[in-house]
Amino acid sequence: GAVVSQHPSWVICKSGTSVKIECRSLDFQATTMFWYRQFPKQSLMLMATSNEGSKATYEQGVEKDKFLINHASLTLSTLTVTSAHPEDSSFYICSARSGPRHYNEQFFGPGTRLTVL
């Protein structure tokens, strides 16, 4: 099946700094990628939909100036958490939507655990 990678798998940063998380589709092109946030012992919350070459669409309540999303190519989307604070600590998961070759299925990355001190 199709593979999606995320980098880094975990990151610890100081409050006030920015952190960039990469999401890559390794063996397919993804015109659409999604970013989710997962709090401990909870379900996935969709943050935004990222389309290659255009601005991301954010879900209600998600600050677009804080969570910057860039989808510069068909295989890479990045999420930058700007001026991170401890409440931003979470597990961030991306997914990439395949094309007809994989029946338009979504494939999930392994997640990035962010801890803000």
Nearer to another protein, 44 or 62 (CB): 44
CA distance 85 to 36: 18
| 12 forms part of the interface with another protein (CB under 8 A) | no
| 109 forms part of the interface with another protein (CB under 8 A) | yes
Among 93, 96, 114, 116, binds another protein (CB under 8 A): 93
| 42 forms part of the interface with another protein (CB under 8 A) | yes
C-beta separation of 108 from 91 below 8 A:
no
Among 14, 40, 41, 86, binds another protein (CB under 8 A): 41
Provide the binding-site residues for another protein, judged by CB under 8 A.
1, 6, 32, 34, 41-44, 46, 49, 93, 95, 97, 105-111, 113
